Chains A and B, each alone.
Chain A
Amino acid sequence: MTAPLLEVVDLTCEFRERGRTVHALNGVNLTVGAGETVGLVGESGCGKSTLARSIVRLLMPTSGRLLFDGQDYTRWGERRLRRLRKDVQIVFQDPMTALNPSWTVRQLILEPLALHRVGEPERRLSQVLDEVELSASILGRRPGQLSGGQRQRVAIARAIAARPRFVVLDEPTASVDMSIRASLLRLLRKLQREEGLTYLFISHDLATVRHICDRLLVMYLGKVVEEGRTESIFDRPTHVYTRVLLSAIPIPDPAARRQRLPILGEPPSPTMIPTGCPFRPRCQMTTEECERPQPFYEVGPGHRAACRLARMEPLSKVGTPA
C-alpha cells in the first residue's frame, strides 16, 4: 500500500474556556490515502470541527502528530506552514461568513493564486470558474449578491485555485438548499477526479456522507468509536453509538418504518470525558467492562469498532426500512 497522504497520530486537543478545560480531541488516529474521500461523522461536541481546524493548523494541537506526505508539521511556524497551505486547504460550512463580504469574487479567487505564485493567474481563474460551473458574470459581485449555491461554489473555487492536494470539507452542503445539495456533491466528486484531490469530508448528515465517502470515521466526545468502509458501516453498524445514530435519521419515505434506538440522558459536554468508552453514560448496553479503555475490534475487512458488541455474533441490521 502506498504511503498515506495525511496521517493523524494520537491527536489530543485541549483548551481552556471560562475556567474549565474542554477536551475537544482525545487521542484521534486517522490516515487518508491519496485520492480517497474519508468521512468524519458525529454530532455536536464530538470534535470533528476541532479536528478539521487542527489538520489545517488553524490551531495547534496539545499533543500528537500531524503528517502530510510524511512530513511532521505539528509544530511548524507560520512561515513553513505557508508552503503547506498550498497543498492543504479547507472549505468552511457557511460561505456567507467564510467569504470576506467586502471582496469581489474575482479578488477572492485570485488571492490564493497570488499568495502561492501560481503562473498565468488569469487563465487559471477562468479555468477554475468553469470547473465549478459558474459564469464569468459573477466576478464583479460580492458574496452578499450571490445565491447560497453560488457562494459555496466560490468558496470551493477559492480553495482549489492554487491546486491543493488535500481539501478538508467542513459540512459543505449544510447551508445549501436541498434541491442543490445533490448537484453540489456531484460537483465535488467531479473536481476530485479532474484535479486529483483527496477529501476529508465532515458532516453530521449520514445521507450525504453515504453518497460521497469511501470510508467513514464515527466520532464521539473526541474519540473515534468506529471506522470502516462506508457500505460496511451502513450494513453492519457495530458500536452502539453508530447504531443509535443511524436509527435516528428520519427517512423521507412515508411508507418506511424505522425503529429508533433509545439513547439515555442528554448530549454530553466535552469538559468531562468519562473513563473508558466515551459513550458509556448514555448507552443502554453498557457493562462494567466499558469503564476500561476500549480496544478496536475487527468487524470486517477494514472495519473496526471500539465496542464489546463487536465480539457478539451475529450482528443485526439496524435502521433500515421495513
Chain B
Amino acid sequence: MAVQEVRAPLTVGVPRRRRRLGVSAPVGLGILALLVVLWAWGALAPPHDPLATDPASQLLPPGPGHLMGTDTYGRDILSRVMAGAGLDLAIAASVTGVSFVIGVLVGALAGYHGGWIDDVVLRVVDVILSFPAFVLALAITAVLGNSVRNVVIAIAVAYTPYFVRLTRGEILSARRADYADNARAIGNPSWRVVLLHLLPNCILPALVQASLTMGWSILDASGLSFLGLGIKPPTPEWGVEVGEGASNIVSGEWWTSVFPGLAITLAVLSFNLLGEAIQARFRPRR
C-alpha cells in the first residue's frame, strides 16, 4: 500500500515570497517585439523600397509619407531601419547561436575532463580575451574580408570565450556534487553525465550571457559598419545607416543618424533587460 508522508514545513530560512517580476521582462520583451514587428512589416510590405534612391526627395525631414524622413540619396529611412532590423537581429542570432553552442560545449568538456584539454582551452581563451572584443572583431574582419558572413565569424570568435569560461566554472563545481557521482554510479557514460545531468544545472549563467551577447553583437556589427568595415553601403544595416548619416548631423538633418542609432540602442537595451529577467526568474532555489 502506497503511503505519503508529511512534507516538512519551512524552518529557518528566507520565506518563499511571491516572486516579484520586475519591469525588466515586460519592457525587454516589449521592445524586442516592436523590433520584430518592424522587421516583419519591412519584409512583407515596406512603405518604400529600402534601396530605391530618389534624388527629388533628398533629406526630407520626418513627415507624412516618410515617417522617419529620407537620407542623402532620397531613400526612406523607416524602410531602411526595418530592413536593418532583420539584418541586425539575424546577425545577433547567428553570433549568439554559434558562440553559445561552441562555447558551452568546449567549456563543459574542459571543466569536466580537466587535464591537458583544460590547459589548452584556458590558454586559447586567455589569448582571445586579452583583446577587446571589438578590436578583435575588427582585426578578423580586416583579414577575412568584408561580408556579413565574415562579420558573424569575427564577432563569434570574440565572444565564444565568455561562454567557455562561464560554463567551465559552473561545471567545475557541479562535477563534485553528489548527484554527479550518483549519475556516474548509476552507469552513465561521461558524456551523458555532462550533457544531461550537469549542464541543465549549469546553463543559467550562459543563458544570461547569451542574451547580453545578442545586444553586444549588434553593437559590434554596427560599429564595424560605421567604420567602413564588414558590411558596406548600400546594404541596409543600422551601423551603415548611422555612418552614412553622420555628416548630416552637423548640418541639422539629425534624422538620418538618430533613428537608426535609436534602433541600436533599443535593441541592446531590450537584450540587457531580458538578461536581467532571466537571471531573476531562474535564480536557483534552495
Contacts and interface: CB of A to CB of B under 8 A. Distances in A.
A96 B190 CA distance: 22
Given A112-B186, A115-B187, A158-B186, A102 B2 contact: no
B178 A133 contact: no
Interface in B159-197: 177-179, 181-190, 197
Interface in A20-35: none
A102 B284 CA distance: 10
Interface stretch (B5-13, B19-27, B54-62, B135-143): B5-13
A99 B179 contact: yes
Interface size class of B (residues with CB under 8 A): 20 to 34
A158 B182 CA distance: 10
Contact of A135 (B3, B183, B186, B286): B3
B5 A94 contact: no
B65 interface: no
A92 B182 contact: yes
Nearest to B8: A147
B7 A146 contact: yes
Contacts of B15: none
A177 to B, nearest CB: 8
A272 to B, nearest CB: 25
Interface string A51-66: 0010010100000000
Interface in B1-50: 1-8
Nearest to A135: B2
Interface string B257-286: 000000000000000000000000000011
Interface residues of A, number: 43
Contacts of B4: 134-135, 137-138, 150
A264 interface: no
A217 B197 CA distance: 35
A147 B178 contact: no
A116 interface: yes
A250 interface: no
A101 B201 CA distance: 8
A100 B196 CA distance: 10
Interface secondary structure of A, over-half rule: helix
Given A149-B5, A180-B5, 10 more contacts: A78-B190, A89-B185, A99-B182, A100-B182, A100-B200, A115-B188, A137-B4, A147-B5, A147-B8, A177-B8
A92 B181 contact: yes
Nearest to B184: A58
B186 A111 contact: yes
Contacts of B6: 147
Interface in B91-126: none
B179 A147 contact: no
Contacts of B186: 85, 89, 111-112, 115, 158-159
Given A97-B177, A102-B201, A147-B6, A82 B189 contact: yes
B141 to A, nearest CB: 40
Contacts of B182: 90, 92, 98-100, 155, 158
A148 B286 CA distance: 14
